[in-house]
Structure 1
Amino acid sequence: MSTVRLRHLAQINPPTPAFDRLADGDELTFLPMEAVWPGSRLDLSRRRRKAAVATGYTRFQDGDVLVPKITPTFEAGRAVLIEGLHGGVGAGTTELHVLRPGSQVDGRFLYYLVNAHSFLKLGEAEMYGVAGQRRVPDEFLRNLLVRSIPLDGQRRIVKFLDIETARMDQMVDLQFQFLEKLRERESAQLDLEIQRMMTEWGSIPFRRFIWGVDQGVSPQCDAIPAGDHEWGVLKVSSLRPGVFLPEENKRLPNSISPDTSNEVREGDLLVVRANTPQLVGSTAAVPRIRRKLLLSDKIFRVRLLSGVSPEFIAAVARGKRVRDLCAAVSNGASQSMANIRFEEVKAWPIPAVTSDVQDAFVKRVSDERARLNALQSRIERQFALLGERRQALITAAVTGQFDVSSASGRNVTDGVGV
């Protein structure tokens, strides 16, 4: 079996003349890392003007294969073949390697190649850097030895894999749709409960439940999360509607003394002050935590009067009336950042119910969320198993472990070991 180094088949991180030819005001597709997913989850909806991404971003064009370079995204197999860019050109996070197929490699074959298990394990072994910031060097890609397969053979493999992986991707898409329907149902039930309480008990402005508010600071922190005995500063991603994620933090350097007056504690009610328009106003109560965490300047901590449940307020804030108010405040904001003032938070309508009604409502909401989370965990496990089978099939095909010509026309996915 003859082999060839990848640099002889594809350009590695090449220049993109099509980007240079754009005028500064021209729009192009923008890809942050959270938008880079294989299959139908790839999000090409974001736009930026050329002038805004002229420096400090990776450039690419239709037909390129993008490979995440940083852990853990690389190991997750999130490489994508890019097609359908706005104007045929894009820019994105610097944490991407760009592979541009040459005349001797089919673009889709190259895409499958960099999603093979063997490729991912070799790349993982070549990573450099500190924990949490390890990256795959472009030298690994340039010097990677791959099987030398004629174009017609590559295309037979591609045709086979397109059919087989499409079946798996369809199963994943259906499960995503099912999960989304369940979330929509939960949201509709929550809105009905809140409306019922407001009809029966009336509502009062949130300010009537508040005796104080805090806003932290955001010093220059390390990019990695804090360890068990280190201080961390919360990132805005630590809050999702009704959910607190303490692992989403940045480590405070040892050279900076923590302001313990900003320490986050169990029972705190946190509200996102600045984030994307979709997430500004996200509210969650802090459960029991073991980490040493500090409030950031983009998050409010609301101090509630005695007898007011922070979990109750967080649940009401997930409802449509509060979400609509936050959306109205965010109108006209940029796609990347919006802000909400605390005066606007204080105007949120809250059902004027007694503490026992609050507790009963919180229990119903918590029970439903727990049921949905359990179902989501089972679905995510199915995603993982399908992903393992998909990767095993790709690996077997591109490395020649079986002849795709003899496998075509029959279902082989169940016969591929994982």
Structure 2
Amino acid sequence: MTPTADGWIEGAPVQWTRGRIKNLIASATNGTWGDEPAEDGSDVRCIRAADFDRVGRRAKVDGAPLRSIDASSLRQHLLHPGDLILEKSGGGEKQPVGMAVLYEGAEKAVCSNFCSRISPASEVDSRFLTYVFAAAYGQGLTQSAIKQTTGIQNLDAGAFFSSPWAYPESEDQRRIADFLDAETARIDRLAKHDQKLLGLLGERRKAVIDHEVDASSRLLTKLFWKLSVLRDGTHQPPPRVDLGVPLLTARNVSGGDLRLTDLDTHVSEDDAKLLEKSLRMMVGDVLLSVKGTIGACAVAPAGFPRSVLDRNVALLRPLPEYSSEWLAFVLRSTGLQDQMRISVTAAAQPGLPLGVIRELRVPDVPLSEQEGRVDRISARCREIDQVVDRVKRKGSLLSERRQALITAAATGQFDVTTASGRNVTDGVSA
């Protein structure tokens, strides 16, 4: 059982020291953003929260931006192997601020001003401290120390560091870290294999669609001749309101479904009525992303909540002779995706103009043939989706098992010397 925030301490091994997280820390120094790169060979990497490996809890140095840091500031902020980097500002609803990663790099680097450099206390193993921070994050200790301001989460590091904790001597710290390094690596190998499998299943899904679309491409016609409506949403977005009619954007359009959970932007009822005078979404309309993930599309299903469209989404309403489901599959095929990709405008933010959409070449086949091909694609995709769901459930179980293992070991729930070699992935199979 995963312990609560500090209820586990009484049950920790009797030889462990009772104290606070701050007893494991020598210093905590806020990071720096520095200046624009000098490009004279003196620039150093500046590690941000975006450069965190959030699974392995390690800092990714290679992708971190180069910044110019003056000599005095560099002496104060320079990261040393074994330091931790704590995100103290940022985060979000699904990813609270407060995660910490271990820095193991050999090159000169600092952390950004949204982070803190944490130096372990003497006789504290830096890997063990990383697992302590991971356990604390999983228990919600960092979340309880968050102060929310203007949509940004800020960690009250002092409150977090004052959290009660129990910890062993340095030799046992290293033993726990060695055990967790080995066991989490085993879990991570399984997770990596599953990610590869998900990629292959995605390719298989695309191959099923491509097979049916390519086989129907004996005769092609312009997409425009198969549509009764081709419009995009408003180009002058009205003011946003907290409650009102949802504004559907490109992020709501994914590979086959409209994501209802992301309908978090709204316009007023009066503004919605004005927009609907020129364009009202109907069941069976095909919605196509023309900005961002260009080419992503979905069919508006029955029961979808009333919404209005922004300018990043195009609405395609097929004629009765052209199935909405068939059109969506055609648009997701490799051939049509290639047509859209090579036609994207070379602007600051690439987009897909309506003039390009109307010229797309699509198969011109009878409705009965469309319906047969849709049935075959749907049946095969359902089979693939069932496997995808099983793999994703396994991934969730592995993630939960990983966190539970870290918490149990870092809080002394079991003796790792007797746990070595046990199969921590038992019961987690596809």
Query: TM-score when scaled to structure 2?
Result: 0.75
Per the alignment, residue 54 of structure 1 pairs with none
User: Bigger radius of gyration, 1 or 2?
Assistant: 2
Per the alignment, residue 23 of structure 1 pairs with 38
Deviations 1:130-176 (A, max 9, x none): 9xx69463344343333344444332211110111111111121122
Per the alignment, residue 72 of structure 2 pairs with none
Cα gap change, 1:352/1:20 in structure 2, threshold over 3 Å: closer, same or farther? Answer: same
Aligned-partner residue type, residue 236 of structure 1: A
CA distance in 1, matches of 2:311, 2:32: 39
Deviations 1:39-58 (A, max 9, x none): 4999888676769xxxxxxx
Cα gap change, 1:300/1:72 in structure 2, threshold over 3 Å: closer, same or farther? Answer: same
Deviations 1:232-252 (A, max 9, x none): 112321112333213222332
Equivalent of residue 342 in structure 1, options 333, 347, 354: 354
Aligned-partner residue type, residue 330 of structure 2: V
Per the alignment, residue 209 of structure 1 pairs with 226
Cα gap change, 1:288/1:127 in structure 2, threshold over 3 Å: closer, same or farther? Answer: farther
Q: Would you say the 8 A contact 1:30–1:47 is kept in 2?
A: yes
Cα gap change, 1:333/1:12 in structure 2, threshold over 3 Å: closer, same or farther? Answer: farther
Per the alignment, residue 94 of structure 2 pairs with 72
Equivalent of residue 121 in structure 1, options 126, 133, 140: 140
Listed as ranges, the gaps of 5+ residues in structure 1 are 52-58
Cα gap change, 1:184/1:123 in structure 2, threshold over 3 Å: closer, same or farther? Answer: same
Equivalent of residue 320 in structure 1, options 325, 334, 337: 334
CA distance in 2, matches of 1:325, 1:78: 42
Equivalent of residue 257 in structure 1, options 257, 271, 290: 271
Cα shift at 1:348? 1.7
Cα gap change, 1:349/1:31 in structure 2, threshold over 3 Å: closer, same or farther? Answer: farther
CA distance in 2, matches of 1:122, 1:238: 33
Q: Would you say the 8 A contact 2:323–2:370 is kept in 1?
A: yes
The alignment yields a C-alpha RMSD, in angstroms, of: 4.0
Equivalent of residue 302 in structure 2, options 257, 272, 288: 288
Cα gap change, 1:319/1:125 in structure 2, threshold over 3 Å: closer, same or farther? Answer: same
Q: Does 1:398 align with 2:410?
A: yes
Per the alignment, residue 254 of structure 2 pairs with 240
Q: How does 1:98-113 map to 2 (within 5 A)?
A: 98=116, 100-104=118-122, 105-113=124-132
Aligned residues between the structures: 390
Q: How does 1:147-226 map to 2 (within 5 A)?
A: 147-199=166-218, 202-217=219-234, 218-221=237-240
Q: Would you say the 8 A contact 2:47–2:109 is kept in 1?
A: no
Q: Would you say the 8 A contact 2:47–2:59 is kept in 1?
A: no
Q: Percent identity?
A: 25
1:207 is paired with a residue of what secondary structure? Answer: helix
CA distance in 2, matches of 1:50, 1:339: 32
Per the alignment, residue 56 of structure 1 pairs with none
CA distance in 1, matches of 2:132, 2:39: 36
Aligned-partner residue type, residue 101 of structure 1: S
Query: TM-score when scaled to structure 1?
Result: 0.77
Q: Which moved more, 1:181-190 or 1:27-36?
A: 27-36
Deviations 1:91-117 (A, max 9, x none): 6xx9x7555333544443333223327
Cα gap change, 1:393/1:309 in structure 2, threshold over 3 Å: closer, same or farther? Answer: same
Cα gap change, 1:295/1:362 in structure 2, threshold over 3 Å: closer, same or farther? Answer: same
1:214 is paired with a residue of what secondary structure? Answer: strand
Q: Which moved more, 1:398-407 or 1:386-395?
A: 398-407
Cα shift at 1:64? 4.0
